[in-house]
Amino acid sequence: MNVARIDDGLWRWSSDHPDWRPGASWDAEVASVYLEVPEAVVLVDPLVPTDPAQAERFLVHLDADIERLGLSVVVVVTVDWHRRSADALAARYPGGRIIGAGREGDPPDGVVLVPVPAAREVVVWIPGHRAVVPGDVLLGDGAGGVRRCPPDWLPEGSSDAELGRQLAPLLDLGAERVLLSHGAPVLEGGGAALRAALDG
């Protein structure tokens, strides 16, 4: 497990996905986001490490943070197969709830969900940190930038052109960071990285 502080109250952690197999079209390591906003601790696509020692260490720290802040927990699932540890973590904390793709419920202040129907996904926008957090629609390009997901990742009946149109509003957000689930995060120049992905 790798943990990185992005900003005050904003962290990103990554660990190996238990369902990954050699030859898969995505990397073994996937990332999740921890965010503090005034009314909640927000976990985006959380994955508790499968290694027991790492899982215990992770949960001890998470429990301590939530107890220290005295806040409820909101889990955002960007796309259905990113349920990962969402149910277990929402159930772990009193008042915990899950929102996002395929779920009803409003996000807490400080979090905006941008729907992407072509992918049955939502992208998370964190205005206070100028950070975009996608699930699968945007991926690392292996060179420090961002690319769109392969067209064959989209549901039947959706197209890459339609995906591009639905992602275009992200260009108006003034993003500085793109915290990817798959690939290295973009910590500076996020708007330019998004434009390159959508113009390409």
Residue 180 contacts residue 136 (beta carbons within 8 Å): no
pLDDT digits (tens, 9 = 90+) for 87-126: 999 999 999 999 999 888 999 999 999 999 999 999 999 9
Percentage with pLDDT > 90 across the chain: 81
2-199 to CATH, choices 3.60.15.10, 3.20.20.70, 3.40.50.300, 3.30.420.40: 3.60.15.10
Instruction: Parse the chain into domains and list their residue ranges.
Output: 2-199
Torsion, CA 48, CA 170, CA 114, CA 179, rounded to 10: 10
Residue 188 contacts residue 7 (beta carbons within 8 Å): no
Instruction: Read off the pLDDT band of 1 (50, 70, 90).
Output: confident
Average pLDDT, integer, range 22-49 = 87
Residue 157 Cα to chain centre, angstroms? 25
pTM of the model: 0.94
Residue 89 contacts residue 65 (beta carbons within 8 Å): no
Average pLDDT, integer, range 153-165 = 92
Mean pLDDT of all residues belonging to the chain: 92
Residue 175 contacts residue 167 (beta carbons within 8 Å): no
3-state secondary structure of 125: strand
DSSP-assigned beta bridge partners for residue 116 = 121
pLDDT computed for residue 121 by the predictor: 95
